[in-house]
Structures are given as C-alpha cells and as structure tokens.
Amino acid sequence: MNPDIDTAWRSLPRAWGAPVLRATVRQFDEDFQVVEELGFTPEGEGEHLYLRIRKTGWNTADVAGWLARALGVRRRDVGQAGLKDRHAVAEQWFGVHMPGRHPDLPPLPGGLELVQAVRHRRKLRTGALKGNRFILRLRNVEGDTQALGRRLLGISRGGVPNWFGEQRFGIDGGNLAAAARLFAGDKVADRHLRGLYLSAARSFLFNRVLAERVAAGSWNRVLTGDLMTFSGSRSLFPADASTTADPRLAALDVHPTGPLAGCDGVSPTADALLVERRVLEAHTGYTAGLVDYRLRAERRALRLSVANLSWRPLEDGDWELSFSLPPGAYATAVLREVIE
C-alpha cells in the first residue's frame, strides 16, 4: 500500500535494453532547458495578458504567485499552460485576467526574465500546449558514443514507454507516502497538495501497468481488447483485427493505452483487461482510494513518440541532446533509455 520510489521509478524495465552511456544530467540548471510551444498564436488583443517568462531556479507556482502580487490581482486570476521544474531554464506561458488594464510590470527578480507580453481573448488553460522542446547537456560522458547514435535513431523511429517521471512522486517518493496516508484517513485541507497526492497514486498505477507491458514486449503493440488513442488526442477506439496491421501504428500515430485509475470511465477487454486487472488488484488501497475521491477514470497512451530528435558533441567531451515531446510527457522517459 505504500510503495517506495524504487518500485515507482528506478526499478522500471527499459524497453531498449541497458543504457549505452553514463553521464551527468543537470549538473547546473542551464544544462536542462525547456521551451513551451503553445498550440495557438495569441491574437494581440483581449482581456487576458499572456506573459512568456524565462525562469531559472523558480517553480511554476512561485512565479504565478509573484505575478499576482506584482500586478495586484488574485492568485486564481493567474494561469499557466504547464508545470516546469525549478532546477532548469524554462520558458513558459502565464495568463493573467486583466480586462481594460495596461499594467507596467515591475522589474522582475533574479531568475526571471520577460520574453514576450501579448494580449489574447481567451483564458490560458492548463494543457493548452502543442508540446515542449528540450535541450539537454550531458556532462562527464562515458561509453560508446556511436552506440548513442544507434540507440537514438531507434527511439526516433519506435518511441519510448510513456512513463510518468520520478518528479511526479515527490522527493524520495514522498507524494506516494502522503497518498497512502490520505487514503488511510488523513485529512489534507490544501486542495493543491491533495491533488498532487492523488496524481501520484494514479501515476504509480499507470507505471505499474506499463511496466508489465514493457516486460512482456507489448507496450508498443496491440493486445486483444486494447483501447487505442491517436497522438495528440484523447479520443479512444477499441482495437480490432485490423489494428495490428494499421500503418498508423507503425508511424507512431496510434497507440495502445493504459489506465488512469478512478471511477466510471471505459475499460479494455480480453487480454488487455487481464493485464490491467492483475496489476491493479495488487494495489487495491490506491484504486479504492481514487474511487472514494471520485476521480474519473481516464486513459493515457502507453507509447511516447519523440520528435525533432538530434544530438551533437560539444567541447570537453560533453554532448547536447534535443527533442520535442507532447504535453504531459517527461524528458526522463527518454533519458532513462539512453544513459545511466
């Protein structure tokens, strides 16, 4: 009922075999750069002020709180397209509801830089992204760099398992431990924290189902009864006899899905259902807790396509790795298939 972080992340199987390199990732914040790519172009007018901010050493919630205070608005009037790590250089979008006002933003504190300010007619909602572009510096690289090229080429063609990353579970799995206490009866008044704990529980269960499929070699192929989804879509359709030969499966446009546990929702059938049932029944404390909190069951693609993948050597033997991922995907899902 209270799995540790090794079960949640470190001991997960690898789809592409043992890592081909050893390297240091994120020795400095600037080694990990991420740029949000909006799924639309702001219109230039409207009652919502969109701010594109480059942050270093700040988490997203703290930036949103500073903006609310600096602009004299309520915290709930500041939204963001996504969440980004504190220990990174991240360009991300914030939206502030400010009808009819043309504020002068005060000087930004250290670690924050205003890249762009533009108006838009509609509120900026979480998830309103086309994706994220990552530029990573790998230091102290040891191993066969030619093997790195072969591994990355395979990943660009076949994708990687769509894991929830280690940060989802908190430091040393603390969010999972808190979820266990929550389901055991602890009260958590802070709605944001409660949401983090519930998300950690769901992410753990999804990763366990995905781990079962990776170990069996079925994370990137169709099982009888699978529910399928399209890249960039939440729509679902049941697999049938033609799905295995569907060229969209090989093109990484269609993927089998796994469970985001909760109540109601739709479920797979046949072999896919048997796999999920076997995993979830081993963690009934979490599944029952999520139902008690009335989280609606959803589905998530088991496979993650990696776009615009490139790599190049830098000075001093370092390497730069860059790629684009869709919203909700984790760069660590790519890195763990490449480096130790």
Closest CA to 36 of 138, 122, 124, 167: 124
Rounded to 5 degrees, what angle do the CA atoms 242, 248, 253 make?
Answer: 135
Q: What angle do helix axes 270-280 and 191-216 make, rounded to 10 degrees?
A: 130
Residue 23 neighbours by CB under 8 Å, 6+ apart: 138, 139, 140, 141, 142, 143, 319, 339, 340
Structure tokens at 237: 């359709």
The answer to whether the CB of 211 falls within 8 A of the CB of 283 is no
Catalytic annotation, residues: 85
End-to-end CA distance of the chain: 29
User: Which H helix or E strand runs over 153?
Assistant: helix 145-158
Instruction: Tell me the CA distances in angstroms from 337 to 44, 47, 136, one per residue in order.
Output: 41, 44, 15
